[in-house]
Structures are given as structure tokens and as C-alpha cells.
Amino acid sequence: MAQDAADGTTAPQEDAAKGGIPALAEITERLIRVLDEGMGLGVPEGVANPTFEDLDIDSLSMVEFVVAVEDEFKVSFQDSEIKGLKTFDDLSNRIVAKLTDGQRSGAADAR
């Protein structure tokens, strides 16, 4: 894993094509695509980490978005997890955590 100098967190850098966890940049690109194609919303130019409020996503729209994200990434969110999400980075990091946990579970199941 590589260290992200901006906030001190680590992000997986494995290639998704090799069965690894996608990098945060790829996750963000896919989130933007889901937002655009699924909801007809776009991320304003030059905004690196928009809040869902910036995007005018209300609670009902957030539920629609999360369902589309669950389908895109084959993950599942609890209602309590959704309430804590404020920005794209929050969601991206939560997806990485879920994919990482799923990979660990799959490895444990294979034993």
C-alpha cells in the first residue's frame, strides 16, 4: 500500500484486473460515472472532494445513489454507515474498507 501524503492515509494500489482492490482514483472515477449515468448529476470542474450537499443530493437521492454504488462495487451498506458519509472521499474510503474486508473474508473462506 502507498501512503497518501495529503492526509496520511494509505490507499491500495493493486490492479483491479488482477483481482486486487481498485485504487482510490479508480473508485472515484466509477463513483462519478454512477452519479452521472445513474442520476444525471455531475461533479463541478475543479472540485476534488465534493460533499453530497455540494451536489444537491438529499436523503432520498442519497439512497438511490448508494443503491447504484452497491450494484457497481458489489458491496452492501448499513443505514448507519450511509448517515456518516459526507464527501466522495468518505464514500471511496468506505468502499475500499468493504472491498478489503470482503477480500479477507474470501481468503479465510478458501482455507
Indicate which CATH number applies to the domain containing 89: 1.10.1200.10
Secondary structure of residue 44 in the 3-state scheme: coil
Distances (CA, A) of 110 to 6, 85, 105: 36, 32, 9
Largest CA distance in the chain: 47
Match 472540485 to its residue by C-alpha cell: 47
User: Is the pLDDT score of 76 beyond 80?
Assistant: yes
Q: Give residue 52's domain range.
A: 22-110
Chain-centroid distance, C-alpha 87: 10
Supply the pLDDT for residue 15.
Answer: 41
Mean pLDDT across the stretch 60-66? 92
Supply the pLDDT for residue 86.
Answer: 93
Overall domain count for the chain: 1
In a domain, 101, yes or no: yes
In a domain, 8, yes or no: no
- Is the whole-model pTM more than 0.75? no
User: Within 13 Å and on the Cβ side, how many CA atoms surround 43?
Assistant: 17
